[in-house]
Amino acid sequence: ERVRAELTKVQAKAEAAEQSHQEQRKKAATEIHKMAERLNAVQAERDQARQDAGSARERAAELAGQLTAHQKQATALLARLAPAEAQDNPGC
């Protein structure tokens, strides 16, 4: 009888340990799933940021080109106006 009681006790402990282990595995699996979702979200944010940065670089290059063109046009206009001003104001 004592052996049966001891066996029942050991079986109960084993079942409790197994149940605890299963709960820990479920928690770990849930945590891993959450971490994987977060990783995917962060990677998507990173990819979007890279794309936005690339677009910003392209736009900056475009604007720099436009600025250079405007500066050349302004320089050319000033060069045309300078001789005309010199003719209008010969005393300067």
Res. 89: pLDDT tops 90: no
Give how far Cα 85 sits from Cα of 63, 71, 75, 76, 82, Å.
Answer: 32, 20, 15, 14, 5
Give the model's pLDDT for residue 87.
72
Q: Which two tokens stand for residue 33?
A: 């799933």
Terminal Cα-to-Cα distance of the chain (whole angstroms): 126
Proportion of the chain in helix, strand, coil states, percent, rounded to 5: 95, 0, 5
Check whether 92 has a pLDDT greater than 60: no
pLDDT digits (tens, 9 = 90+) for 22-69: 999 999 999 999 999 999 999 999 999 999 999 999 999 999 999 999
Q: Note the pLDDT of residue 83.
A: 80
